[in-house]
Amino acid sequence: MAVNKCVKYSLFFFNLLFWLSGCIILGVGIYLKVSNAKIPVIQNILPSFELMIAIGSIIMVLGFLGCCGAYKESRCMLILFFIFLLLIFILLLVAGILGAVGGSKVKDFVKTELDKLTPLSQQPKNVIEDMEKMQQEVTAKNG
């Protein structure tokens, strides 16, 4: 397979960066999961340590396939790399379409669930605290 060296090494370099970033994300996710980090700042920023581990693993595998496939010019690895990228693209496209189409359903669901909590004074103390915290966060974000 005669491949232009510039394209080959560019693909190798960028996939090496993706592989390294996947290793870092995976390592940080595992460290935070194992250490049971209870740092409020980190918990507000990151949705889930398990999600970090999953994303890091996927990025690491994709980076490895692209990096080794480009360096060795392995047709099998490059085809797997392409298939995984195509699969991720299709999943993102489907998620975007479902988000655009089902946006009003989510809004209606949240409204009915919040209506169940009224009057708020009759709810347990932890529910009242959570609602007040959510209201403070919304007002802080909106200015």
Of 75, 89, 76, 81, the C-alpha closest to 15 is: 81
Q: Are 26 and 37 part of one and the same domain?
A: yes
Task: List, in order, residues 6 or more apart from 60 with CB less than 8 Å away.
Answer: 19, 22, 23, 26
- Read off the amino acid at residue 84: F
Q: Quote the CA–CA distance of 37 and 47 in Å, as a whole number.
A: 13
Residue 115 has pLDDT above 60, yes or no: yes
Work out the pLDDT band at 40, boundaries 50, 70, 90.
low
Q: Are 76 and 114 part of one and the same domain?
A: no
Residue 121 has pLDDT above 80, yes or no: no
Cβ neighbours, 10 Å, residue 29: 21
Per-residue pLDDT tens for 81-97? 999 999 999 999 998 89
pTM value?
A: 0.63
When the pLDDT of each residue in the chain is averaged and rounded to a whole number, the result is 83
Q: Are 87 and 31 part of one and the same domain?
A: yes
Q: Are 61 and 111 part of one and the same domain?
A: no
Q: Are 18 and 56 part of one and the same domain?
A: yes
For the chain, give the percent of residues with pLDDT over 70: 89
Of 128, 104, 103, the C-alpha closest to 118 is: 128
Total domain count, the chain? 2
Q: Are 95 and 134 part of one and the same domain?
A: no
Identify the domain containing residue 71 by its residue range: 1-101
Higher-pLDDT residue of 118 and 16 is 16
Q: Are 26 and 87 part of one and the same domain?
A: yes
Ranking 21-25, 30-34, 97-101 by mean pLDDT, the lowest is: 30-34
Q: Are 77 and 108 part of one and the same domain?
A: no
Per-residue pLDDT tens for 41-72? 555 555 678 888 899 999 999 999 999 998 89
Q: Quote the CA–CA distance of 101 and 105 in Å, as a whole number.
A: 9
Predicted confidence at residue 44, as pLDDT, reads 54
Q: Are 71 and 125 part of one and the same domain?
A: no
Q: Are 67 and 116 part of one and the same domain?
A: no
Q: Are 57 and 13 part of one and the same domain?
A: yes
Q: Are 94 and 110 part of one and the same domain?
A: no
